[in-house]
A and B are shown apart, each in its own frame.
Chain A
Amino acid sequence: MAIEHHDFDVLVLGSGGSGLRAAVAAAEAGAKTGLVCKSLLGKAHTVMAEGGLAASLGNVDPRDNWETHFQDTMFGGKYLNNWRMAELHAKEAPDRARELEHWGAVFDRTPDRKMSQRAFGGHTYKRLVHIGDRTGLEMIRTMQDKAVHSDIDIFMETTITRLIKDGDRVVGCFGYRRASGEQISFSSKALVVATGGSGRIYKITSNSQDCTGDGYALAYEAGAELVDMEFIQFHPTGMVYPPGVAGLLVTEAVRGEGGILRNALGERFMEKYDPKRMELSTRDVVARSIYTEVKEGRGTPHGGAYLDVSHLDSDYVRRKLPSMYDQFLELAGVDITKEPMQVGPTCHYFMGGIKVDPDTGETRVPGLYATGEASGGMNGANRLGGNSLGDLLVFGRRAGIGAAADANKLSAVALPAEELTAAQGEVDTYLNGSGTENPFQMHKDLQKIMGDGAGIFRDKEGLTEAISLLESLESRVDKLKSPSPRLEYNPGWQLCREVKNMLTVSLMIARGALMREESRGGHSRLDFTAYSDYWAENNIVVHSKGGYDMQLTPTPVFKRDELSELVEARKESEKAS
């Protein structure tokens, strides 16, 4: 049966900040460009970002420069970052921020009418360009309008279920339109994966429904390498109550504005864990502290910690934290100017991702590029707040340019018929096959395994158990079947492939976490609580040996001689303080 087909030079998967920026760059470079996303345009996960975008413009604090931003990023990432990526990000973020403004984005101002910048955890100077607490929306809307007027073909609510290769090269992909269930294929000389993270493998997450790790799994299946998958950022403050909204983010700005954390006994417990920085300690430390207080029986009635701003002037709170005020009043029935919030850790961000060339976003698979949260390396073991939005712009642009340059060298590509047939067979099986496994149930099972064994604290026993439970899901995944055979907007059908993707991602995480016998950034082992000298120098790189069989290889951190001085200087000043 003939299906809808489109030909592009460059095809981008994902319309978050990174995908939009990549598509705009590819189109500007003269490539015939397409953009595919699971949700409607303008609804991607990026739209939720609140705090801001880190760029060393020096508008508020003129002492700021790219070198300090680079050092902060390396320190935050516990020196496991790809040095070149951290360098490019720090150097180019200011230009990307200005460019957004030239495309019509509107940010808060300084008294001398320039873009204002706010303080955030781990940044030496006031560095985050922002607009209130909705910076992600501003970014998405600006680039959405730019993309719409850049001669880019956009395919909304279209789910890609497979990348298609011709020999060694990725030459396109296959999927279906969610509204009609109609199949669709794309050929592309170069394809950019910008599909974001995979927070939905945990029950408690700040991530949107789209975040099911599709890009990680599709790239893995196509032969790409992934890096640092064991590092997951649990944001310390998510809502814990009511159950329906558990995980919803409570922005770091609450603590930035003077919010105080207490346990059920009324103790300001951060005094025990980080007396110097208290509530504004790094995210990994605060998250672990709250977790420990709850685990040791000092949690609030709903199993979290109290976060209190009621000592601040109530007008000030309403002005500075408007969406938090609304969120708690509306959803929890709590007036935060009078009562404390209850908060606990929530899965927030994936430091790891597809391993790419820092300058071009190219993976080790010809024709395959990656960017944004879907790619790894820039953030090392822990991401600083504000460094994702900058990352999306800097590396989204670079991947778009890289992909277009590649595509412009190539004559037309075609999808091998047997590959296409196999991809069609897979989605048909989820709909009409003889399988008996319910995707909703399996998603729940997977979330429980990951929460129990590979959550915020890990140990050998728990991880080994999680891995064996995940392995027992491998055979069940092949029997997944949508409870309904309807083609149009069928949620169970959609979830089948997503669950398969999440299983692949979960295995990478658990296996990487078992291998890394130390605690560092977003990876905490109860049985190896200290830094290890060996692991300080190595990332874990994973690729497929076929199916769910994975090769994990410790690989030395990517360094650059010309940056050594900056890195050493930072390490020295840390020791001194």
Chain B
Amino acid sequence: MSETMAAGGTRTLQIWRGDLTSGQLVDYTLETEPGMVVLDAVLEIQRSQAPDLAVRWNCKAAKCGSCSAEVNGKPRLMCKTRLDHLPADEPITVEPMRAFPIIQDLVTDVSWNYEVNKKIIPFTPREDLPEGDYLIDQADTDRMSEFRKCIECFMCQDVCHILRDQRMHNKYYGPRFMVRLASLDMHPLDGIDRIDQIADEAGIGLCNITKCCTEVCPEGIHITDNAIIPLKERVVDARHDPILKIFKRNNTRPGKKKPEASA
């Protein structure tokens, strides 16, 4: 790889313009500079051709997860997608995420995700912890860290067919929050038994492991293999394991407590 591939030149972007009621793709042609990302092009169009073009962004460094959109039909961070990595002989389409209601142009209403997050009990230390510094293995840290890399771009939510096509927002928390639940469940010092929530309200049973979410994650989180499948196994162990049922009336792991009903 070298900078010779950093072509500039004239490009056409077809950007979706509209609101909740209606909208269409609108063509914009601009001179691009070498190495431009899609967000640069969109902001240049905003500056010079369409000053009311709505787009959400903040860090422009692929770290905040604000600028998610569907570029050539695939969810991507606009600030991390180079124009010259997209086919040169056809227009580039830029559309809002389809799993969420549109506010304006490329900006969608992602507030549902924040509502879901509120339902997840935050980290709560086990009651049997000794006084003093928390002691945690690096191996546990590495395992949780994969999940905690999540920048909440919500692109996995966007592609998950349960949300996107079946619109079952009231039955399934979506892959982002499976990742969150997994990070809490795997925290060695967390004192909450989260199995009921994972199985029932969060609806993990609805996931049929298509792995579409994993494919789009800009952080490379193995959402399906490392978060969802282990959680599914935990649910099976806790709920259906006949041997456990005989020996333990309550299948809660040591140190973990069922959440209080009000929580």
Q: Which residues of A pack against B, CB within 8 Å? A: 39-45, 47-48, 98, 101-104, 106-109, 112-115, 131-132, 134, 137-138, 141, 145-146, 148-149, 156, 179, 206, 208-210, 241-245, 248-249, 327, 329-335, 339, 438, 440, 482-484, 486, 488-492
Contacts and interface: CB of A to CB of B under 8 A. Distances in A.
B90 interface: no
B135 A114 contact: yes
Interface string B109-132: 111001001100111010000000
Contacts of A489: 54, 56, 103-105, 107
Interface stretch (B144-152, B204-212, B222-230): B144-152
Nearest to A338: B1
B105 A48 contact: no
Q: On chain B, which size bracket covers the interface?
A: 35 or more
Contacts of B66: 39-40, 43
B3 A47 contact: no
Contacts of B63: 47-48, 134, 137
Nearest to A209: B58
A131 B147 CA distance: 13
Contacts of A98: 133-134
Contacts, number: 181
Contacts of B37: 244-245, 331
A248 B61 contact: yes
Contact of B3 (A41, A108, A109, A334): A334
30 contacts: A40-B110, A41-B114, A42-B64, A44-B64, A48-B64, A106-B141, A106-B187, A113-B136, A137-B63, A148-B118, A149-B121, A179-B103, A179-B107, A208-B60, A210-B58, A241-B35, A242-B35, A243-B36, A244-B40, A331-B35, A331-B80, A333-B3, A333-B35, A334-B3, A335-B1, A440-B46, A486-B52, A486-B104, A489-B54, A491-B52
Which of B59, B109, B117, B190 has most chain A Cβ within 10 Å?
B59
A245 B148 CA distance: 26
Given A488-B104, A491-B46, A103 B36 contact: no
Contacts of A242: 6, 33-36
B51 A329 contact: no
Interface-centre pick from B47, B110, B184 (highest chain A CB count, 10 A): B47
B54 A332 contact: no
A278 B1 CA distance: 30
Nearest to B40: A244
B57 interface: yes
Contact of B35 (A47, A112, A332): A332
Contacts of B109: 179
B22 interface: no
